[in-house]
Amino acid sequence: MIVATRLSGGEDTRCNPRPSAARRMALIDSQGKIVAVNNDWIALAKQTRAKSSRIGVGADYLDVCRRASNFSLSSHIALTGICQVVNEETPSFSMDYTCETPTGVGYFRMIATQIHYKNARVAICHTDISDLELSRSRECDRVQKFARGLINAQEEERQRISREIHDDLGGQIAFLAFSIRQLITQRARNSNGIDAELTKVVEGLTGLSTALRDLSHSLHPTSLRYVGIAGALKSLGKAFQDNYRIQINVSVPAELPRLTSELELCVFRITQESLQNIVKHSAASRADIRLEPKSNQLRLTVSDSGKGFVRSDAIQNGGVGLLSMQERAMSLGGNVLLTSSPGHGTQIELTLPLQQVLEESVVK
């Protein structure tokens, strides 16, 4: 809504002293010519280093936008939106954009609204929202740090459990199995029945030891430390293929820079969760894992040939795995995109900022 601002082509254009986002305003006619401005419009134009001949009364504002649209996509979008309002195709149009100012990059919001005042047809308002964007950025940083802290705490607990399973329980089971083997070898030949039972106990303990070892490794993937994310993904794919008889193809670049441990763990966990979902729900016979750096991003894609699903139904039925993937990605400034439909398989696409991570790796 436009209120309490005095505008005209030749009258006093001083503004009400009360601060208002609507004060940075100009009126244009049906041809796009500026017919009135206020002082804050002039001040904003000076702040963004615009020439006075381009922003004052009588200037062709649409021509200014048209010239700028040859060099800027945002200017082209602005021109299109304003023209739609001028031509009465839509009552209003708004967009956010960035602009260089003497103090650095500024964030602004433009709103174009139909009016009918003398020969004016559209009111153009520009609002400086730099403080709002800064607040949003800080809030996003806080959310990311909080999510990262939760995930790190979870991983530390997993490491602790992994060590206890491996070092304590695993060692005890191995000792029991060894002791029973010793008893078997020392028993007389006429104790075949007891020996057979003891052999079953040994086999059961051995199987339990193997299961605990696998659980320990899944809780904390030590392969990341020794072979990096490429080797860890190949090992993970082979394990799922051997255990569940699903053909899994893993594609990674021949030369992939070593990334930070946080990013590698994020990629590994989301791949692990995706494969577990494929085994549980997809009934797929094949899955593909692809990891590639692309346009300053690291992109992971996990797809399958299964039966697919409706995303909203999965969340309503308790699909916590999808939410945990998004939380992991968000903690590192990334994003997870899920594509699926009944009968057409499922694809999980993770993107993470690569350049920032690589720079951090170099610094460390």
Say which residue the tokens 């346009």 belong to.
Answer: 295
For the chain, how long is the longest CA-to-CA vector?
119
Q: How far apart are CA 288 and CA 272, in angstroms?
A: 13
Report the CATH superfamily, name and number, of domain 21-128: PAS domain (3.30.450.20)
**Domain 224-364: which topology?**
Heat Shock Protein 90 (3.30.565)
Which residues does 364 contact at the CB level (< 8 Å), separation at least 6?
260
The span from the CA of 363 to the CA of 354, in Å, is 14
Give residue for tokens 């992939």: 256
Do residues 132 and 111 make contact, with C-beta atoms less than 8 angstroms apart?
no
User: Which helix (H) or strand (E) element contains residue 124?
Assistant: strand 120-128
What CA dihedral angle connects 208, 211, 212 and 213, to 10 degrees? 120
Threshold 0.95, pTM exceeds? no
For the record, the structure tokens of 363 come out as 């610094």
One fold for 21-128 and 224-364: no
Residue ranges of the domains in the chain?
21-128, 139-220, 224-364
pLDDT at 249: 96
Report in angstroms the alpha-carbon separations of 142 from 135, 136, 146, 188: 11, 10, 6, 70
Distance CA 313, CA 315 (A): 6
Tens-digit pLDDT profile for the chain (364 aa)? Answer: 232 333 333 333 333 333 434 468 889 999 989 999 888 887 766 666 666 667 788 888 888 888 877 777 778 888 889 999 999 999 999 888 887 766 677 788 889 999 988 899 999 988 888 777 777 777 777 777 767 776 776 777 777 677 666 666 666 677 777 777 777 776 655 555 666 667 777 777 777 776 666 666 666 677 777 788 999 899 899 989 988 889 999 999 988 876 888 889 899 989 988 998 899 888 899 999 999 988 788 999 999 999 988 766 665 555 557 777 888 888 888 999 988 888 889 999 999 987 544 444 444 4
